[in-house]
Every structure is written in structure tokens, then in C-alpha cells.
């Protein structure tokens, strides 16, 4: 079942196109990572889904509800939106903050106390129930933001750069919290620049650039697409220059670069279906003694760099 769907979703500001004919489908229970540079259209997409921004044209649907003025209140009952900033809540303590937002969803009295206790336990903030909101660290404030959007038990979570500005420990805590919410069956759309953490958290990702969705699929799908021109590091015991010349003249090798000592960085044409072991066989049959043969692994960061051009609006 599709929980999030966009059809030719477009947002324009005068001559600037922030989002161009976005067609995206996120299934129930997916944790979907939205990847792209600043200005690519990630926040615009999330704000439209959160009913905070009207598209120029196109359609967005959440849990079968069309995102628009008529059904905006119904959509807000289904979603939890965590922006990339916390806001200011002077002189308000944690339980007051959560009580205020619980009341906004018509949750009062004993029910509110029970729900607030549950979300504080889930986000590991129960010991901060009487602390002033502004006294919390950035990481704790982000967890409190997640606690806030869980008060009405939404099916869909929209998180815009939730790990932005966090120290390593706080990032790990947020990641583990999101993993637990994923295990609970929440459908999650998360944008982030910390790509290695998205690979660990998300089962599907989409790459957006200049307002256009370039690639979407599982993490493995994206990594496979980025393997074109994959790289092998090869070291020989001696005669590095001769090995360089031999490898450079092979038809399936597009580039050979000396790194240090006797190591050569070899870029292969992936379309030729060449395996690194074939390079080893060529060298050994020509009398070279190999001391290293290691293929550089493609991770989500290198995939992003290879599949995008670094363009912004």
C-alpha cells in the first residue's frame, strides 16, 4: 500500500523551479532516504507533504488523502513533521511543551499524561520531564521534537535533516530512535546530508538534484548504478612502470594512476563486465608478483558523487 505518492509535483517561484514534476511512491512501512544538495528540492517536497506549502501544480497524497486545503486537517492527523530547526520556547519545561501539543490534537487529562509518559520513555527523555526546553542540548531537543510528533501516533513521519548540527553521540541516538520507529511500522521520509547513516537506516533512497528526481530504489540498486567505472587498487613487488604500461593498454581499463610506492589505482569500464581477478591474471601471466589487489567499495557517498553533477538552483 502506498503511504506517500506524488504525481508531477511541481513548485515554482517566479522563474525559479524548486521542484519539477516529482513522481515518488513510498510504500507503507518504508524508511525512505531523500538525498540531494542544498536547494535540490528536499525541504520543498517535505513541506508540501506536511501541508505547509502549496504546489504550483501536480498532486501529493498521504495515506490515500489528497494533500490540499480541503483535507489538510485530516492529513495532519496522519503525519508527524520534524523540521530542521527546533524553534524557541522560553520558560517552558518539557512536560508543558508536550502537554501543549497534546492538547492541539485533543488529547487531555489522564490520556495526555499516559501518552506523554510513553513518548518520553521511547525517546529516553523521561528524566528531563521537568527541565526547561531551552536548557536541553541540541540532540535532546531533536529527540523532544520526535516525541512531540509521536503524541498522536501518526502513521507517517516526515523528518527534514534531523541529524543536522548534532555531535556524533547525538546522531547515533537519533539514528537508533528512528530504527526503533521503523521497527514499529512507521513509514518514514527522512532527508539528510549524512549519507552513510542513511545507508544504515533506510531500505530505499531517492536522489534529487535541481528539483528533479534522478534515481530511486533500494540502497543496493543505487550502489549498483554507481559501479560504472569502479576502481581497483593493485600493488606489484617491482617493475611498477611496466605494470602501469601493461594495465593502461588493456581495452577494459579507462585509467591507471600511481598512488604511492608500488600501488596503482586502476579504473575499469564496468560495461565490459571485467572482474578484478582478470587483471591479476594478466599481470601474473606477464611475470609480475602481486602484493595487493583490492577493489574500492562503493558506498552511498561515492554513489551520490558519481550519480550527481553537484548542480543547485
Question: 9-62, pLDDT tens digit by residue?
Answer: 999 999 999 999 999 999 999 999 998 888 889 999 999 999 999 999 999 999
Same domain, yes or no, for 69 and 178? yes
Percent of the chain with pLDDT over 70: 91
Same domain, yes or no, for 239 and 151? no
Same domain, yes or no, for 69 and 191? yes
| 307 found inside a domain | no
Percent of the chain with pLDDT over 90: 60
Residue 26 CA to chain centroid, in angstroms? 13
Residue 275 CA to chain centroid, in angstroms? 30
| 137 found inside a domain | no
C-alpha span between 311 and 65 (Å, rounded): 33
Same domain, yes or no, for 221 and 254? no
Average pLDDT over residues 95-108: 96
Q: At 4, is the pLDDT very low, low, confident or very high (cuts 50, 70, 90)?
A: very high
Same domain, yes or no, for 211 and 289? no
- CATH code of the domain in which 291 resides: 3.30.70.100
Amino acid 163: pLDDT: 85
Same domain, yes or no, for 168 and 83? yes
Domain end: 193, 225, 257, which one? Answer: 225
Average pLDDT over residues 246-268: 86
| 11 found inside a domain | yes
Amino acid 244: pLDDT: 93
Domain end: 225, 243, 260, which one? Answer: 225
197 versus 128: the higher-pLDDT residue is 128
Amino acid 312: pLDDT: 45
Q: Which domain holds residue 248?
A: 231-297
Same domain, yes or no, for 153 and 268? no
| 101 found inside a domain | no
| 117 found inside a domain | no
Same domain, yes or no, for 71 and 152? yes
Domain end: 196, 225, 254, which one? Answer: 225
**Run of H or E residues at 293:** strand 290-295
Of 39-43, 160-164, 263-267, 269-273, the poorest mean pLDDT is in 269-273
Domain count along the chain: 2
Are the beta carbons of 214 and 307 closer than 8 angstroms? yes
- CATH code of the domain in which 217 resides: 3.40.50.300
Average pLDDT over residues 118-126: 96
Q: DSSP 3-state assignment of 167?
A: coil
Q: At 113, is the pLDDT very low, low, confident or very high (cuts 50, 70, 90)?
A: very high
Say whether pLDDT at 313 is over 80: no
| 197 found inside a domain | yes
Say whether pLDDT at 311 is over 50: no
**Run of H or E residues at 27:** strand 16-27
| 129 found inside a domain | no
| 126 found inside a domain | no
Could you please report the per-residue DSSP string of 95-117?
A: HHHHHHHHHHTT--HHHHHHHHH
Most confident of 66-70, 83-87, 253-257: 66-70
Q: CA separation (Å) from 136 to 65, 117, 128?
A: 36, 18, 8
Same domain, yes or no, for 275 and 151? no
Same domain, yes or no, for 8 and 85? yes
Per-residue pLDDT of 191-230, as tens digits, reads 987 777 777 889 899 989 889 998 898 877 777 666 655 7
Same domain, yes or no, for 177 and 70? yes
Q: What predicted TM-score, i.e. pTM, was given to this entire model?
A: 0.79
Average pLDDT over residues 88-103: 91
Indicate the average pLDDT of the chain.
Answer: 89
Average pLDDT over residues 285-308: 79
Same domain, yes or no, for 188 and 291? no
Amino acid at each position: 500500500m502506498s503511504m506517500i505518492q506524488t504525481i508531477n509535483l511541481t513548485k515554482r517561484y517566479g522563474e525559479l523551479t524548486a521542484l519539477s514534476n516529482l513522481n515518488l511512491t513510498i510504500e507503507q512501512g518504508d524508511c525512505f532516504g531523500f538525498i540531494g544538495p542544498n536547494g535540490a528540492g528536499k525541504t520543498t517536497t517535505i513541506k508540501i507533504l506536511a501541508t505547509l506549502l502549496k504546489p504550483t501544480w501536480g498532486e501529493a497524497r498521504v495515506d490515500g488523502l489528497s494533500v490540499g486545503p480541503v483535507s489538510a486537517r485530516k492529513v495532519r492527523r496522519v503525519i508527524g513533521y520534524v523540521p530542521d530547526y527546533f524553534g524557541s520556547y522560553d520558560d517552558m519545561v518539557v512536560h508543558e511543551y508536550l502537554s501543549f501539543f497534546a492538547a492541539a490534537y485533543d488529547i487531555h487529562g489522564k490520556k495526555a499524561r499516559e501518552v506523554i509518559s510513553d513518548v518520553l520513555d521511547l525517546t529516553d527523555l523521561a528524566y528531563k520531564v521537568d527541565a526547561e526546553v531551552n536548557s536541553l542540548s541540541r540532540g535532546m531537543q531533536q529527540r523532544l521534537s520526535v516525541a512531540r510528533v509521536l503524541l498522536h501516533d501518526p502513521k507517517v513521519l516526515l523528518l527534514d535533516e534531523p541529524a543536522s548540527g548534532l555531535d556524533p553521540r547525538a546522531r547515533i541516538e537519533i539514528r537508533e530512535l528512528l530504527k526503533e520507529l521503523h521497527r514499529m511500522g512507521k513509514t518514514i521520509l527522512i532527508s539528510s546530508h549524512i549519507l552513510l547513516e542513511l545507508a544504515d537506516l533506510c531500505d530505499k533512497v531517492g536522489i534529487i538534484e535541481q528539483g528533479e528526481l534522478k534515481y530511486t530504489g533500494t540502497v543496493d540498486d543505487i550502489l549498483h548504478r554507481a559501479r560504472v567505472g569502479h576502481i581497483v587498487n593493485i600493488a606489484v613487488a617491482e617493475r611498477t612502470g611496466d605494470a602501469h604500461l601493461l594495465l593502461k593498454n588493456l581495452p577494459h581499463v579507462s585509467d591507471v594512476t600511481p598512488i604511492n610506492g608500488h600501488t596503482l589505482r586502476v579504473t575499469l569500464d564496468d560495461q565490459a563486465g571485467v572482474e578484478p581477478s582478470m587483471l591479476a591474471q594478466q599481470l601474473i601471466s606477464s611475470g609480475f608478483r602481486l602484493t595487493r589487489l583490492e577493489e574500492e567499495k562503493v558506498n552511498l557517498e561515492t554513489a551520490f558523487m558519481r550519480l550527481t553533477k553537484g548542480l543547485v538552483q
